[in-house]
Amino acid sequence: MLVFKIAWRNILRHKGKSIIIGSILFLGALIMTLGNATAIGMQKGVEENIVRGFTGHIILVSDQETKDNVLFTPMAKPLKILRDYDRISALLRQQDYVKDFIPMTRGGVAILGGSGMNFMLTFGCNFDDFQRVFGNPVEAVEGQLLTNGDHGLLVNEKSRQNQHKMQGYWLVPAGYELNRDNLSKEARSELPGLPQRSDLALGGFGEPNSTDLTLPIRAITRFKSLNNLMQEISIMDIESFRQIFGYYTAADVVQELPPEQEALLASGEEDLFGSADIFSSGSSSTVAELEKTIHAAPRPSAKINYDNAAYNYVSVLLKPGEDLGAAVARTRELMKGNGLPVKVLSWKQASGQVAQISDILRVVINVFVILLFFVAVIIIMNTLSMTAMERTEEFGMMRAVGARKGFITRMFLSETLTLSAIFGGAGILIGALVAWIFHPLGISSGESEILELLFGGEVFQPTLGVGGVVGGVAALGVVTLLAVLYPLFVARRITPLDAINRH
């Protein structure tokens, strides 16, 4: 009581210093809270849009895969075939932490027959399942989305514009008229003679059994979220993918190649990149015929049970609230325990740079906040030390009439902690309030890919939550204690004699 009374009066008595320290604590707490809200908001954005909309939380790939970054690398080496999908899926279905999962393929394809080389990162899936599992992340701008069993390609609207620039033609979904509303400025200027195409001849590379295939464009699409970021991704039906990459025949030769042959293949790959005429081997007419024959009579090796077909990876979505690290560990155990040749990756590992950039931003924010704290600690420490010296008479007097050092400690701490609680508390409160107000409004990333990536979506919503507030209060406490330590030492050292000698 006595301590608090004296502390409070001292705060009022030394208003100038109280205000300096208070403002620093206030600003520090405010900036920290807003930074925190930004970081948490971004994390949430990434979680919502990238994880729940495309990658899933956990990615299962073949244990033959050497690199973790399996999803987004452009011109990536083909992924190994993930064996035993039937057993994997049976196990996943039994896990209580798994919300859903979907098997996928991923590979790089070359667009054939154009003026230059053009690559696309393409994902093969049963598109209906894809839309169901990821909550309809893809929408059609023109044409009609794929349904299971349908053959064809979905091309992103941005990718269409790029291809027009590079190859000179404008893609229109098969069976649809040119939609003039969606033309880019460049394409519009070429009207009425704008070259159009409704199919693309694609060659898979990196796989020994890959063939060329001409696929009809079913739709021009966009991702509802992160479209700028994911514009180079095209999606095709799973069977066309397998066709291009030779998985039907490959299913029989899953066993690993001897190293010499692997090396040979690798050098062959380079040749593939170097000379364009290899691609012309698959003329569109033969491919079209081939396609007909596939429909009419699947080859013997293609007669496969859906669950046992060739995939590259499985995306697993967790139930809300499940801890990612724990789930990865459990899945790893599960696969190992059942002797499955599977490598279990978190979405962060599997997404490479995409996940890292948003991590980097969080690190930058944290470093900034720590720097800010450092400065705040130094300024507060300085001011408090000065205050302690100026109050030599007061402290010395108290000590002279019998106040122990502990009393000085409690008084000094009460003063600083009260200031910290009032001003720092106000900073956290106002920061939380700003985050709360801006959360529903959101901040648009515009057309910027980088911002979109940082925001984890087109719209950034600062989010704080109880954890953020608690963390803020803890950080404020740590800063206050760090700042008060040295001044407290100074104050405790003051003797009655110091006070007398002042006179």
| Residues at the site binding another protein, with contacts judged by CB under 8 A | 2, 6, 9-10, 13, 393-394, 397-405, 407, 495-497, 499-500, 502-503
Q: In whole angstroms, how close is the CB of 381 to another protein at the nearest point?
A: 23
Give me Rg for the CA atoms of the chain. Answer: 32
CA dihedral 311, 74, 232, 78 (to 10 degrees): -20
**Which C-beta is closer to another protein: that of 253 or that of 497?**
497
**Which C-beta is closer to another protein: that of 6 or that of 98?**
6
**170 to 109, 120, 140, 160, 194: CA distances (angstroms):** 19, 16, 16, 7, 7
**Which C-beta is closer to another protein: that of 5 or that of 295?**
5
The answer to whether 380 and 17 have CB atoms below 8 angstroms apart is no
The answer to whether 122 and 145 have CB atoms below 8 angstroms apart is no
How far is 394 from 415, CA to CA, in rounded Å?
14
Six-digit token string for 133: 């599992």
Q: In whole angstroms, how close is the CB of 398 to another protein at the nearest point?
A: 6
How far is 212 from 287, CA to CA, in rounded Å?
7
CA dihedral 447, 449, 451, 456 (to 10 degrees): 110
Q: In whole angstroms, how close is the CB of 413 to another protein at the nearest point?
A: 17
Q: In whole angstroms, how close is the CB of 23 to another protein at the nearest point?
A: 22
**Which C-beta is closer to another protein: that of 314 or that of 398?**
398
Q: In whole angstroms, how close is the CB of 502 to another protein at the nearest point?
A: 7
**Which C-beta is closer to another protein: that of 410 or that of 439?**
410
- The upper half-sphere exposure of residue 415, i.e. CA atoms within 13 Å in the direction of its Cβ, equals 27
**Which C-beta is closer to another protein: that of 475 or that of 494?**
494
Say which amino acid occupies 236: M
**Which C-beta is closer to another protein: that of 192 or that of 402?**
402
How far is 212 from 243, CA to CA, in rounded Å?
8
Q: In whole angstroms, how close is the CB of 16 to another protein at the nearest point?
A: 15
Reduced to 3 states (helix: H, G, I; strand: E, B; else coil), residue 154 is strand
**Which C-beta is closer to another protein: that of 302 or that of 397?**
397
How far is 167 from 130, CA to CA, in rounded Å?
30
Residue at token pair 């030599």: 392
**Which C-beta is closer to another protein: that of 224 or that of 410?**
410
**Which C-beta is closer to another protein: that of 250 or that of 403?**
403
How far is 389 from 358, CA to CA, in rounded Å?
47
Q: In whole angstroms, how close is the CB of 388 to another protein at the nearest point?
A: 15
The answer to whether 308 and 51 have CB atoms below 8 angstroms apart is no
Polymer length of the chain: 503
- Residue 448: phi and psi, rounded to 5, are -75, 125
Q: In whole angstroms, how close is the CB of 6 to another protein at the nearest point?
A: 6
Q: In whole angstroms, how close is the CB of 435 to another protein at the nearest point?
A: 38
Residue at token pair 């899926």: 89
Residue at token pair 């000065």: 386
Q: In whole angstroms, how close is the CB of 384 to another protein at the nearest point?
A: 17
How far is 193 from 176, CA to CA, in rounded Å?
17
